[in-house]
Amino acid sequence: MIGSRLLMSPDPPPSVDRASWVAVLGLAAPPPTSASTPWRVVAGGRGRVLSVTGPPGSWRCAGAVDGRSGVVFDGVLYDREDLRGRLGTAVNRVDDDAGLVLEAYRRWGDRVFAELRGFFALILWDERREVLLCARDPLGVHPLFYARSGPELLLSPSADALVRQPGVSRRVDRAALARYLCRRWDGAEETFFGEVRRVLPGHVLHVGRDGSRTYRYWDPSPGGQEVEWVRDGAPERFEAGLARAVDRCVPRDPVGIFLSGGLDSVTVAALATDRCRRAGQPSPLALSLVFPHPDCNEETIQRSVARGLDLPQVVLPFDEAVGSRGLMLAGLETSAGLPAPLQNVWAPAYWALAREARRQGCGNILTGGGGDEWLGVTPVYAADLLRVFDVVGLYRLVTTLQRSYRRPRLALARNVLWTNGARLLLGELLRGTVAGALLRRVRRRVQRWNGAGAGGPPAWMVPDPALRREIDQTAGEQPPNERAGAAGSFYVRELRRALDHPLTALEFEEIFETGQRLGPRILQPFWDADLVELLYRTPPEVLNLGERSKGLVRTMLARRFPHAGFERQRKVVSFDFFGSRVFHEHGRAWSLLGGVPTLESLGLVDAPRLGGGLARMVARGRPHDATVIWDVLNLEAWARAHV
C-alpha cells in the first residue's frame, strides 16, 4: 500500500515465507506456532537445543548430526567432488552438503570455513566445546542475520523472518536510516531493524561460554600486509579462473543470462555457452532489456551477440517491462515489500525478465555483475602514482580512462588528477594537522552557503540535532582492516571497500531475495571468491592491458568476436536516462505517497525545507539530484511499510 491506493503489479512476488527459516539456539525449543514445526538438529549439553523452524516445506536448508555436533547448511557448495576426495573414504555414504561440511569440521576444526567455496549460510553447533559457529560465504552472496530473544539466539537468511519471531522487536533503526539517507556507510553489521544484525561476508560469528565475537576467515590479502601481486601469467590465469567461475554457476538445469551489450555480460554469455555445449546441455537463454535512450540503448549489439552465439533470446523493451506505472512507482512498490530499501533502481524491469526465465525453466540466471568492481582500475590509483612521481603512469591512466569512458576529456582529467589524485594525497598529508582542520572548516562553511548543514548533508536532511550528532560521530571512520593499512596504497584501500562496504552486502542480499521470490537464482561469476582473490592481486597495469579498462576481457572477446569492436568499446552509462525518468515521474510518486510523513515523523527530513529543495533540484536537473530524489521517496516507501 502506497499512500491511499493499492499499487500491485499483475504478477506480484510470492511471500518471503516461501523460503525463510529461523535457527534457534537456546535453553528450550522455540515457541510453537500454527505455521511452524521445529526440526531438532542436535540436543544435549546442559539442555541446549539447536532447532530450525519454518512453515512446512518452506525452507530448503539441510541438516546433519553426528551425536555431538550438528550443522544447518543453506546454499550450494562448489567443487564437491574435490572436497570429497580430500576427506577420503569417511564421506563415501554422505550425499548432501551439510554432511560434507560436518565431516570437514571433524577433520579440520575451525579451519573448515576457509576450505569451503560456494554461496552459503552455515550454522554449526559443537556440543563438546559448547560453541556455536555461524558463517557466511567469503563474499556474502548468501545472507545471514541474527537477533536475540531472551536467552535465545536466532539466525536466519531473512531479516524479515527474524522480526516476526516472538521477543524480537520490529523497531526500525533511525540512525541506520539516517546514514542511508546521508550516504554515510559506517555500520557494516547494522541492518535497518534495531535488533537485527548481519553476519559479515567472509566472517564467522563465534558464540561460546565466554561470550560472542566475530572474526574474518577469508581475506584475499590480509589488511596491513603487502599485497603479493600476480605478475607471471596473469592473463592466462584470469581466463582459466573465469572459466571455472562460470562452470560453477551452470548446473544441469537450463540457465538464463542477463545479456546487455557490455563487456562483462557478453564474456559470461560466451563462456556459459561453451560450458553448456561441452556438457550436452541446452544453450543458455539470453535475456535482454532494451533501454529507450540513445546513451544506453544496446539492442543492436545484444541481438548480434545472441546470433553469434546461436542463443535463444528474449528481448523486452524497458517500458513494457516496468509497465504503465512507470519506473518510480514500480520501484517504490517493490521497495515496500523488501527487507531493506531497494538498491537496484532497474530491478522492476529485470524482475519481468526473470519471470520469463522462470516460465522457460531456468534454474539460474547469470549476470556480468562484479566486472566493474574487479576488472577495472579505480581512479584513486592516481594518488599512488602521484606519491611516487610516476608521470608516465599518470599519463597512461588518464589515457586509458579516456579511451574507455564517454566523458569530456577535461572533466575526466580533473576527476583523476585532482579529485582522486592530488586531493586525496593532500588530505592524507594534512591529516591531524592545523592546516587540515582549517581546510575542513572552510569546506563546512562552503557547504552552509550552498544550503547544506555543518556535516555536509542539505539542511532539510536529518534535522534532528541529536540524530545528526549521532551519525556525525562515526562519519568517516575507517573499518579496522582499512585502519591497519592506512599508510599503504590508496588503490588497495579502495579494493577493500569493494569487499567490505555495507552497500555490497545490501546488494547481495537484494539479489538473493530476488531469487527467493522469483524462482531462478541470480549468480555473478565475477564475484567468485577464487577469481576475486586473483583479480585483487593483479597489478593495475595488467588489468589495463592495451591501455583500455577491462583489458583482460577485451582480449578474450576480440578473439571470439573479431569484427564486433569490443577492443574499442566504451562504457555505456544510464545517468541521463535515470535522471529524465525521475524528474518526469517524481511528481506523481510524491502525490500518491502524500509527501514523506513517515520520514518526517522519524526526524529524518524537514518537510517544508525539503519542498524547496526538491524544486531547486528539479530546476538544476543534475543526475546527482535525481539520485537524492529517488533516495528520499524510496526510503519513505520502505519506512511506511515497516514502521
Residue 368 burial by CB count (10 A; 0-12/13-18/19+): exposed, middle or buried?
buried
**Residues belonging to the chain:** 643
Q: Measured between alpha carbons, how far is 170 from 153 in angstroms, rounded to an integer?
A: 16
| 168 and 251 assigned to the same domain | no
Amino acid occupying residue 266? V
Which grid cell is 433? 594537522
402 belongs to a structural domain = no
Q: Give the pLDDT of residue 5.
A: 34
Q: What is the pLDDT of residues 111-142, one digit of tens each?
A: 999 999 999 999 998 888 888 999 999 999 99
Joined together, the cell numbers standing for residue 233 give 601469467
The packing angle between helices 529-536 and 234-249, to 10°, is 160
> What would the pLDDT profile of 476-529 be if each residue is shown by its tens digit?
444 444 443 444 799 999 998 888 899 999 999 999 999 988 989 999 999 999
- Is the pLDDT reported for residue 55 higher than 80? no
* One domain for residues 129 and 43: yes
Contact of 197 with 167, CB cutoff 8 Å: no
pLDDT tens-digit map of 548-569: 999 999 999 999 999 889 989 9
Nearest to 138, CA basis, from 187, 78, 86, 178: 78
Cell numbers 562452470: residue: 247
Local confidence band at 277 (pLDDT 50, 70, 90 cut-offs): very high
Q: Which residue in this structure is represented by grid cell 601481486?
A: 229
User: 152 and 241 in one domain?
Assistant: no
Q: Residue 162 sits in a domain of what CATH number?
A: 3.60.20.10
Please indicate, yes or no, whether residues 276 and 180 belong to a single structural domain of this protein. Answer: no
User: Are residues 506 and 367 part of one domain?
Assistant: yes
Q: Is residue 607 a contact partner of residue 600, using CB atoms and an 8 Å limit?
A: yes
Q: How many CB atoms lie within 10 A of CB 81?
A: 7
What is the spatial distance between Cα 546 and Cα 606, in angstroms, rounded to a whole number? 51
What's the angle, vertex CA 624, arms to CA 379 and CA 401, rounded to 5? 25
User: What are the Cα distances from residue 617, in Å, to 83, 219, 328, 583, 630?
Assistant: 56, 42, 17, 9, 12
278-314 pLDDT, tens digit per residue, is 999 999 999 999 999 998 999 999 999 999 999 999 9
Judge whether 436 lies within some domain.
Answer: no
Same domain, 66 and 196: yes
- Among left, alpha and beta (phi > 0; psi -120 to 50; other), residue 389 is left
417 vs 252 pLDDT, higher one: 417
Instruction: Map residue 10 onto helix, strand or coil.
Output: coil
Does residue 320 form part of some domain?
yes
- Assigned C-alpha cell, 116: 569451503
H-helix or E-strand spanning residue 154: strand 152-156
489 found inside a domain = no
Claim to verify: residue 163 and residue 90 sit in the same structural domain: yes
> Which one-letter DSSP state was computed for residue 48?
E
As a whole number of angstroms, the distance between CA 440 and CA 363 comes to: 52
- The pLDDT assigned to 239 comes to 97
What does residue 211 show for φ and ψ, rounded to 5 degrees?
Answer: 110, -160
Same domain, 212 and 239: no
**Residue 517 domain boundaries:** 234-256+265-324+345-374+502-568
Tell me if 382 is assigned to some domain: no
Which of residues 41 and 620 earns the better pLDDT score? 620
Of 550, 568, 586, which closes a domain? 568
pTM: 0.89
Greatest extent of the chain over all pairs of C-alpha atoms, in Å: 72
* Nearest-angstrom CA–CA distance, 289 and 258: 8
In a domain, 280, yes or no: yes
Least Cα distance to 318 among 282, 339, 284, 345 occurs for: 345
Counted domains in the chain? 2
246 inside domain: yes
What is each CA distance from 588 to 3, 427, 591, 616, 621, in whole angstroms? 11, 43, 5, 18, 17
Query: What is the rounded CA–CA span in Å between residue 393 and residue 397?
Result: 6
Residue 358 in this model has a pLDDT that exceeds 50: yes
For residue 205 the three cell numbers come to 560469528
Query: Which CATH number is 532's domain given?
Result: 3.40.50.620
> Residue 417 domain-assigned?
no
Final residue of a domain: which of 568, 595, 621?
A: 568
61 with 137, same domain: the answer is yes
Residue 226 — very low, low, confident or very high, per pLDDT cuts 50/70/90?
A: confident
Q: What pLDDT is stored for residue 353 in this prediction? A: 96
pLDDT of residue 246: 97
Instruction: Kindly state whether residues 57 and 191 are assigned to the same domain.
Output: yes
Which of 512, 540, 568 is where one domain is finished?
Answer: 568
List, in sequence order, every residue forming a beta bridge with 255; answer none if it has no partner: 364
Quickly state the pLDDT bin for 252 (edges 50, 70, 90): confident
The values of phi and psi at residue 246, to 5°, are -65, -45
State whether 26 and 119 are in the same domain: yes
Same domain, residue pair 26 and 60: yes
